[in-house]
Amino acid sequence: MKTRSHIVLACIVLLSGCSTLSEKECRTADWHQLGVSDGRQGKPASLLNDHKESCTKYGINPNEERYLAGRETGLRQYCQLDNAFRIGMNGEEYSNVCPLDVDPAFRRNNAAALEVYNSKKKIEDIDRQLSRKEHELSEKETSDKEKRRLRDEIRDLDRSRERARSDLHYQERTLDRLMDESRYRGENR
């Protein structure tokens, strides 16, 4: 149960906006290293504007040149094509930050991995729904009409799960093929 003070605190936090950096972080930042870190995570260049906004409150101006140089270094690590598969399988969508020579393959690999991730999540969701419906069906106080309705819903969910599993199987084969092609071409630059 949330207390009134928790709700008030949440409202204050939402209204004040989110700072990307604290005063201490602004004062001690190694802007090159911060750029490397943001680049390694595939963060967009616009994040520098958020950092500026945070630090301007404390009278500190970020070193934009060092940050952007660091971000480029970090992006070289992030934009490895194998990383596109990894971040997609973690449910992360590509933010269009890689150089044009890498972007199409990175986008394709990430999208294929993300489809697999989303299909697995869909199956997990269906499994949870099935479990709830089966629990409801097993309750002793359920009427016959209600049991028929629950059985119909379970049957529909079973069909949906089978379709989702079939889709997942196809998506996994596609992903495996892309991963093999990437390794074969040595696209991990």
Residues 67-103: tens digit of each pLDDT: 999 999 999 999 999 999 999 999 999 999 999 999 9
> For the residues of the chain, what is the DSSP string, one character each?
---HHHHHHHHHHHHH---SS-HHHHHH--HHHHHHHHHHTT--TTHHHHHHHHHHTTT----HHHHHHHHHHHHHHHT-HHHHHHHHHTTPPP-S-S-TTTHHHHHHHHHHHHHHHHHHHHHHHHHHHHHHHHHHHH-TT--HHHHHHHHHHHHHHHHHHHHHHHHHHHHHHHHHHHHHHHHHHT---
Q: What is the pLDDT of residue 15?
A: 33
Q: What is the pLDDT of residue 46?
A: 92
Which residues in the chain land under pLDDT 70? Answer: 1-18, 187-189
Q: What is the pLDDT of residue 160?
A: 97
Q: What is the pLDDT of residue 4?
A: 45
Break the chain into its structural domains and give their ranges. 19-78, 80-189
